[in-house]
Amino acid sequence: MDNEYKIPNHVAIILDGNGRWAKKRGLKRSMGHKAGFDTLKKLSKYIFKKGVKTLSIFAFSTENFKRNKEEVDYLMDLLVGKFREILKQNNNTKILFSGRRTNLRDDVLNALEQMEEETKNNTECVLNVCFNYGGKTDIVDAAKKIAEDYKNNLIDINDLDEEKFGKYLYNSIPDIDLLIRTSGEIRISNFMLFQSAYAEMYFPETLFPDFKEKDFDVALDVYNKRDRRFGGVK
Ligand code: FPP
């Protein structure tokens, strides 16, 4: 059975290279994000069709607020105006929003919370949208919630273990099996630090707008060649 082709349960993608994709074509950075969105739409459909149950995407980091206002506004508008297209095509998908709910425009927060509410009973697969997200803040905010529960006598600190800690994160989701970062950058840039503890990592050179279904197939082949031991011996 060990030779069976494995489909990772949880895939996470750092969608990188939109800006360089646009620059290469003499376009504005926002056009790179538009092309990235179109890629994400097709790719998410394909990834779920392949049997992946959870897909996490790094759509906007807390640090991305350092970009100029025009670019930040474009990304916010994209989320409010277009993200539902992804929902419509991926039937029975539950949307989760991972990130700080402060400092976001009202319409952005409403769009994310509405999509979460509307899809909360969906069971086929999960699309975890990391927006205004940072891996360190995810852990720090969890620690604050734990301290609050401790103060109110709701938890016994001696009972706290990795599994229980994980439930205090923005969302309680399984560990990442395959983490992909496009565009050739080899770092995880504060993305899902707790959940990527044993993730297999793959760093293709392709810029995100060019990352198509066939490129995901290559990622799956790479994943299947990895020997996952989780610290043990085989
Ligand atoms: C990083 O590329 C990409 C982002 C900061 C945004 C990713 C967003 C999408 C793919 C669109 C879908 C998401 C939303 C908001 C609906 P970069 O701009 O850092 O590229 P560069 O490193 O080449 O400059």
Helix, coil or strand: residue 2: coil
Tell me the per-residue pLDDT of 122-168, one tens digit each, with 9 for 90 and over: 999 999 999 999 999 999 999 999 999 999 999 999 999 999 999 99
Residue 2's pLDDT is what?
Answer: 62
Residue 232's pLDDT is what?
Answer: 83
Residue 83 Cβ inside 6 Å of ligand 1? The answer reads yes
Give the predicted TM-score (pTM) of the model. 0.96
How far is Cα 225 from Cα 215, in angstroms, rounded to an integer? 16
What are the boundaries of each domain within the chain? 10-134+175-225
Residues paired with 54 in a beta bridge: 10, 126
Tell me the per-residue pLDDT of 103-112, one tens digit each, with 9 for 90 and over: 999 999 999 9
Kind of pairing between the strands at 10-14 and 178-181: parallel
Tell me the per-residue pLDDT of 84-97, one tens digit each, with 9 for 90 and over: 999 999 889 999 99
Q: Which CATH architecture has domain 10-134+175-225?
A: 3-Layer(aba) Sandwich (3.40)
Tell me the per-residue pLDDT of 164-222, one tens digit each, with 9 for 90 and over: 999 999 999 999 999 999 999 999 999 999 999 999 999 999 999 999 999 999 999 99
Determine contact, residues 131/98, Cβ cutoff 8 Å: yes
Q: Which of 13, 16, 104 most suits a substitution to test ligand 1, by most atoms within 8 Å of the C-beta?
A: 16
Nearest residue (by CA) to ligand 1, atom 3, is 16
How far is Cα 46 from Cα 89, in angstroms, rounded to an integer? 11
Residue 37 Cβ inside 6 Å of ligand 1? The answer reads yes
Residue 229: pLDDT band (50, 70, 90) is confident
Tell me the per-residue pLDDT of 28-85, one tens digit each, with 9 for 90 and over: 999 999 999 999 999 999 999 999 999 999 999 999 999 999 999 999 999 999 999 9
